[in-house]
Amino acid sequence: MPYRINTLHLYSYFNHPNQFKLSLEGGGSLFNTNFGENALSFAVKKQFSSCVSAIVSSFGKLLKEILMPLISYPTIALLGLISLAILL
């Protein structure tokens, strides 16, 4: 049994996509268990397509929230931030 889990792991493991979305929107953290598994890997392994879709759409929303404010910056600043993110 893995440890270092949270509600996002449980919601994806037991196929509760709506609760997953709510928990993520409420500030739930995405991280790997001590075995290197995460919410998405649980849902994929168990072939829970509705949960996988919920996770992927949640990631898309988060990326939009992060990237959209950066578009107003000059292109060079945006490229610098992307390069920095890749290095991290």
What are the structural domains, with CATH classification, of the chain?
Answer: 7-63 (1.25.40.20)
Distance CA 59, CA 64 (A): 9
> Quick one: pLDDT at residue 74?
57
Biggest CA pair distance of the chain: 48
> Quick one: pLDDT at residue 19?
93
Is residue 23 within 8 Å of residue 11, measured between CB atoms? yes
Q: Residue 52, Cβ neighbours under 10 Å: how many? A: 19
Per residue in 4-62, pLDDT (tens digit) is 899 999 999 999 999 998 998 888 888 899 998 988 889 889 999 888 888 888 777 77
pTM of the complete model beyond 0.75: no
- Backbone torsion region of residue 32, taken as left when φ is above 0, otherwise alpha when ψ lies between -120 and 50, otherwise beta: beta
Q: Residue 62, Cβ neighbours under 10 Å: how many? A: 13
> Quick one: pLDDT at residue 58?
79
